[in-house]
Chain A
């Protein structure tokens, strides 16, 4: 029995398996410094994502898109709801209630986050900054640096910049370094906060190609995008955050357009 089910998951023709199931999450901030004012970040958000799929979160600024990504990564604690993460060993963890240590383990190997801005120390070179997450998983420094160089090349970062602190780079270059850093170590689910926001046409094309490659490898992604063209190119479905949230398959979006 067990053997059969194992071989089943390995065949590529098998229908895609679910990786994350977000159920009715809500975030209410209580500001004790402001007479305990309550601010709702988002509410009644539910969606699920399959391995190898990309879900695009859309909606106007301030509607809570980044907050949702942070809630999945446990940077924000949700007020209610469940976030069920299906691990590759088939166990399921609720990212809302599992221990901090478990989250740390998941962040190392399974869930990645590419934030909007590069947050690293000023004393680290671009190559080191990108290689670091791979070194942490136990890959040798030499191999990690080699892979980091390949990734930066692919994203169009000039080689002469490799040994300089990326904090001196332009906004678009920093964003690409940040993406490289976020995807270099193998993960099962990657959260992307506006990965192409400050990139020119050519650079964002390179990033979208990279995201498509990652999908091919079975990596699931949840990303915040604003540009419909980009969404059409990489997303499998979109989830629009409004007062009332709606999950639409990608096809539906295209018909509307």
Chain B
């Protein structure tokens, strides 16, 4: 490998690993880069089609509609990264929102509601984690069960009624702006959480452990990683973040109904997978998912501006997802072929 700097001739083509072209190829075969390009393209296209897209107020305002899902996507990166799945998150939102609504009816103030929201979410996440790691049950089965259970509690009590009496100050979290600016509080909160989660995943031992577990649970165990403890923490984090998202959503719409956040589990997993996190575990980044969140959020907004039917949006999301699942494998194949050719060239 020491000869990498000296260009080698082979098959009539010149290949240098450190050349500008080679580095560009590495950069442009990254899913995150492609996503970012797609995002830029999206902005250019929509700005040209409609005068309402590239408008500071509109872009800021539109972010309200997808920030809760964005918050839910962050810990889901950890869960999927380590080879697990959690399909109960939308139901945790329903449960948390129900708990806060019930408390608000009996006169609990805003600070109390926040505390209840965060603790109920965390407990629900720990409940999942307990069954999955302590009793060794498959994550898909446990969260399938709690998906019904958590929402079921809200359905059983509320039926077709709703909790709508929240304190006035509670509206800030989902409807408020930072100071006098047009920047939604939800947006700032998400970005702060994304930085924290990105730091944990990419800069700490815990993050490295997640990648290791995702690639091989047994190898990680042999390497001395407390696999089940890490997974338990993941599910607990998932619950906590669902608690945060539930506070934001309930505050934004000021109402709790059993069907709150319906289908958001699948929509959140969509964001994570589109962001380049491998559903098999072991691969993915926080920046990738962050770009995917804004890509999909503003795609929906842009298509909404053009009054394009929701049916087309579903199809578009589906196509993007298939690309997201297929392309990394396809790129890997191409990279492997280039590596092979590079080696063959060297051997000659």
A associates with B: no
Chain A interfacial positions (CB closer than 8 Å to B): none
List residues of B whose CB falls within 8 A of some A CB. Answer: none
